[in-house]
A and B are shown apart, each in its own frame.
Chain A
Amino acid sequence: DGGITQSPKYLFRKEGQNVTLSCEQNLNHDAMYWYRQDPGQGLRLIYYSQIVNDFQKGDIAEGYSVSREKKESFPLTVTSAQKNPTAFYLCASGPRVGYTFGSGTRLTVV
C-alpha cells in the first residue's frame, strides 16, 4: 500500500543533542513538507521541498535542517539550536493539491 512512513513514533532528546526524524513516501509525490504541532497553535510549516535537491524554509525553520537527496525521503534534523523542540512533528507529501500525512513523531526533551 502506498503511504508515508514516519519513524520513530516517539523520540527523546537530551539537551544539546541533534536528532533526526525520518520521513519516507512511496506515493511518487514530488512535494514533501514538515509541520510542527503544538497545543493551541495548529500546524506550523517548518520546511518544504518541491523537487529533489531543493527545499525552502517555512514559517518556523530556525533550529531545524532538512535534506532531499531522494524523491522518497525528506528527513528532518532538530538541532541543538532549537530551544523548544518538544512537539509533535508531522510529515506530508502531495501532488499539487491534496496532502497525505504520516502518522507523526512525538519528540520530547529530557
Chain B
Amino acid sequence: AQTVTQSQPEMSVQEAETVTLSCTYDTSESNYYLFWYKQPPSRQMILVIRQEAYKQQNATENRFSVNFQKAAKSFSLKISDSQLGDTAMYFCAFMKQHGGATNKLIFGTGTLLAVQP
C-alpha cells in the first residue's frame, strides 16, 4: 500500500521569503503522479503543482516549484517570494499512473503554512 508522510504539521515564513515543505512517500510502483494541493481558510482544495514520476525535470508553476527525488521518494514544495495569500494547509498526494479503476488520490496529513507580514 502507498503512504504519504508530511512531517511538518506547521510552518511559518515571513512575507517575500522562501519556504520549503517536505513530503516523503512509500510505494513499490515505478510510474505514478505526485501532487501538491493548497487548502486556504475557505477550505476549497486547489491544485498547486503536479509531477509525473517518469519526468526527471522538476515541475514549476510561477512561484511554486518542486524538488522531486525519485530514489529517495521525496517530493518537497518550494514557495518563493511568499505572499499573505499563500497562507493555507498544504497537502502532498500520490496517485498510481496505471491504477485502472482505482485512480485514487492518497493524501498526507498536511502542513499548515502561515505567512507573516
Contact = CB atoms under 8 A, between A and B. Distances in A.
Q: Do A and B come from one complex?
A: yes
Contacts of A104: 43-44
A35 B108 CA distance: 13
B38 to A, nearest CB: 11
A4 B75 CA distance: 28
A56 B47 CA distance: 24
Given A40-B109, A42-B108, A94 B43 contact: no
A63 interface: no
A101 B45 contact: yes
A41 interface: yes
A88 B43 contact: yes
Contacts of B33: 97
B107 interface: yes
Given A88-B43, A103-B42, A43 B91 contact: yes
Interface residues of B, number: 22
A61 interface: no
**Could you say which of A33, A35, A50, A96 has the most chain B C-beta atoms within 10 Å of its C-beta?**
A96
Contact of A97 (B91, B101, B103): B103
Interface of B: 4, 9, 33, 42-45, 47, 50, 91, 95, 97, 101-110
24 contacts: A33-B104, A33-B105, A35-B107, A42-B4, A42-B108, A42-B109, A43-B91, A43-B107, A45-B104, A45-B105, A48-B102, A48-B104, A56-B101, A58-B104, A90-B45, A94-B103, A96-B103, A97-B97, A97-B103, A98-B47, A98-B50, A103-B43, A103-B44, A104-B44
